[in-house]
Amino acid sequence: MDYRKYIAHRLAAEGMTEEEVAEAIAVPPDPSLGDYALPCFKFSKVLRKSPVAVAETLKERFPADDVIEEVSAVNGYLNFKVNKRGLAAETLSRILREGEQYGGSDCGTGKTICIDYSSVNIAKPFHIGHLSTTVIGGALYRIFRFLGYHAVGINHLGDYGTQFGKLISAYRRWGDRELVEKGGIRALNELYVRFHREAEKDPALEDEARAYFKKIEEGDAECRSLFEWFKQLTLKEVSKIYDLLDIRFDSYAGESFYQDKMQPVIDELREKGLLVESRGAQVVDLEAYGMPPCIILKSDGSSLYATRDMAAAIYRKQTYDFDKCLYVVAYQQNLHFRQFFKVLELMGKEWAKDLVHVAYGMVSLEEGAMSTRKGNVVFLEDILEKSVKKAYEIIDMKNPSLSGKEEIAGKVGVGAVIFGALYNNKIKDIVFSYDKALNFDGETSVYVQYTCARASSVLSKANESGFCASSDFSELPPLCSQEFELVKSLAEFPDVVRSAAEKYEPSFVARYSVDVAQRFNKFYFDCKILQEEETRAFRLALTQATLTVLKNALGLLGIGVPEKM
Ligand code: ARG
């Protein structure tokens, strides 16, 4: 039941369309006022009455029924109380029926959405800077699939550029096959750092690196095989992290994939008269749009990040015929995306409007910022490991005899890092703190996981005592406010998922899960789930439904739920 729609349908009249009414309906901050409210000042102008009078008139037009059991006009607001038992019956039977599918829909069927996320750089550390794009992108990928979209996850690997010439130069000079094989990204990063150190003293190294890069581009067998090896080493390590975070991709077409797809783009730009020369480089002038020029070719003829991104966008449109293509990338790259989106638009690609930069803020650790060149970086792998270790210590302290502590600590520790990166509106800069993220009583994944374990434990206790959850909700006992507040939030899940997708904001799902957990805990402490016979079956069903919703919500974020904690 969509209450907003229902109320809007019944209220719609001249001067106030169904859509306008539905749009205006809000949830009052104080539930004792009502479950929904229509602020009437919006309609007072067209109806030529004061908001108070509008509310009074509308109230006359809306006698209570099976769905809305009470309507009141208060200070220019029309307040609605929904039939509690009706809502509970409908919500619980739907959750029970849909199970793991509850919250999803088929509204995206037939639509394709490309999501460019994580997009790590070869031979560079997978550091905390990639955490947000990976977990936000991964969550959006799952959310869109849950809504029936065909989602294409793309890891636009950073595998192109002079840095690979630098690496080959460094490897040739100081590298050791076995050490690199063993050390992986760390060893490669050390070589890279050493290159920069030595190049400060001997600038000729830079020329050597450029020459090596040219060789990679030209397909020199030895250079290419070294480059491929660096790539394999990186991907092997990175995929361990992807497994931990429950992340997957449908394509790993990175920047080098577009090496032979850029010339047609450059030709088209030239044909359309968009390229101009500026200090030896070929650029598209964007002054009219208040942006610096978008550089397409450098003076030495080499291509740029933007050129490859344009080739990639065109390729994606041709290959996937997307309805939307998202780029989950830090806000530092705002200008880059605005520029190349604009250039595609100027080229006459009407689909440029479907490209979306999903920008997010910085995550940092208390330790401070980092630079790959200097080598003082924090690897994401270490952050996850540390979080799991801390989670283990806490769990071990709270419940030393718990079996399977390692596995539980894995879910808790990894979940805390994911949730920490997802909980806030994505554009905010955040400082990650292990202690805050692992607080059992905070707005954390641990809190939600712990709530799930609590619900599981109630259900298994019931099971042992032979108590069953109700499956027929036609004759429910009257609901108390704790029960009803919980039911209401469970009923909202499909809307929450939809708006998370609409706003590209997985934090909605994260916040929602905390809200549900808080309401469940209030219900758990205030209402005796197993003690009273008349309410037991219903309360067990409510507990079961809560567990399903929380699991689905955390699952969308890539966070697992332990049975016990
Ligand atoms: N590899 C880039 C970085 O780490 C991000 C790439 C984002 N995707 C894109 N199509 N530009 O900064």
Neighbours of 305 (CB within 10 A): 15
Contact at 8 Å (CB) between 2 and 21? no
CATH number for the region 380-557 comes to 1.10.730.10
Spacing, Cα 474 to ligand 1 middle (Å): 54
C-beta of residue 84 within 8 angstroms of C-beta of residue 479: yes
Does the Cβ of 470 fall within 6 Å of ligand 1?
no
Ligand 1 midpoint to CA 70 (Å): 54
273 conformational bin, left if phi > 0, alpha if psi -120 to 50, beta if neither: left
CB 255 less than 6 A from any atom of ligand 1: no
Contact 423, 446 (CB under 8 A): no
Encode the chain (565 residues) as per-residue pLDDT tens digits. 788 999 999 999 888 899 999 999 999 988 889 999 999 998 998 889 999 999 999 999 999 998 999 999 999 999 999 999 999 999 999 999 999 999 999 999 999 999 999 999 999 888 888 999 999 999 999 999 999 999 999 999 999 988 999 999 999 999 999 999 999 999 999 999 999 999 999 999 999 999 999 999 899 999 999 999 999 999 999 999 999 999 999 999 999 999 999 999 999 999 999 999 999 999 999 999 999 999 999 988 888 999 999 999 999 999 999 999 999 999 999 999 999 999 999 999 999 999 999 999 988 887 655 444 545 678 899 999 999 999 999 999 999 999 999 999 999 999 999 999 999 898 888 888 999 999 999 999 999 999 999 999 999 999 999 999 999 998 898 999 999 999 999 999 999 999 999 999 999 999 999 999 999 999 999 999 999 999 999 999 999 999 999 999 999 999 999 999 9
> For 343-375, what is the HEC assignment?
HHHHCCCHHHHHEEEEEECCEEECCCCCCCCCC
> Which residue bears the tokens 């209220």?
11
Which two three-digit tokens encode residue 182? Answer: 């063993």
Give the residue range(s) of CATH 3.30.1360.70 domains in the chain.
3-82
Output the CA 314–ligand 1 centroid distance in Å. Answer: 16
Q: Which residue, 174, 180, 178, is CA-closest to 194? A: 174
Q: Is the CB of 309 within 6 Å of ligand 1?
A: yes
Q: Is 158 in the pocket of ligand 1 (CB under 6 A)?
A: yes
Neighbours of 374 (CB within 10 A): 10
Nearest CA to ligand 1 atom 1: 158
Q: Is the CB of 156 under 6 A from ligand 1?
A: yes
Closest-CA residue, ligand 1 atom 5, reads 119
Q: Is 247 in the pocket of ligand 1 (CB under 6 A)?
A: no
Identify the pLDDT of residue 376: 61
**Which atom belonging to ligand 1 lies closest to the Cα atom of 329?**
7
Query: Ligand 1 centre and the CA of 254: distance in Å?
Result: 9
Query: What pLDDT does residue 367 have?
Result: 62
Task: Specify the pLDDT at position 371.
Answer: 46
Cα–Cα distances in Å, from 353 out to 58, 127, 266? 41, 32, 21
Cβ of residue 116 lying under 6 Å from some atom of ligand 1 = yes
Q: Residue 157: helix, strand or coil by DSSP?
A: coil
Among candidate residues 81, 84, 124, 357, the one labeled active-site is 124
Q: Which CATH class is domain 3-82?
A: alpha beta
Pair 471, 538: CB distance under 8 Å: no
Ligand 1 neighbour 492 (Cβ under 6 A):
no
- Other C-beta atoms within 10 Å of 28: how many? 16
For this structure, is 9 an active site residue? no
Whether 32 and 43 have beta carbons less than 8 Å apart is answered as: no
| In contact, 370 and 127? CB cutoff 8 Å | yes
196 is catalytic: no
Cβ within 8 Å of residue 301, ≥6 positions away:
none
What's domain 117-267+300-365's architecture? 3-Layer(aba) Sandwich (3.40)
Confirm or reject: Cβ of 127 under 6 Å from ligand 1: no
Q: What is the DSSP letter of 16?
A: B
Kindly list the distances between the CA atom of residue 524 and the CA atoms of 148, 473, 558, in Å, as whole numbers in the listed order.
34, 20, 26
CATH 1.10.730.10 spans which residues of the chain?
A: 380-557
Ligand 1 center from residue 466 Cα (angstroms): 55
Closest by CA to 1, choosing from 107, 83, 80, 71, is: 83
CA 362 to centroid of ligand 1, rounded, Å: 15
- Catalytic: which of 81, 84, 130, 488? 130
CB 419 within 8 A of CB 510: yes
127 is catalytic: yes
Q: What is the pLDDT of residue 363?
A: 86
Which residues in the chain are classed under CATH 3.40.50.620?
117-267+300-365
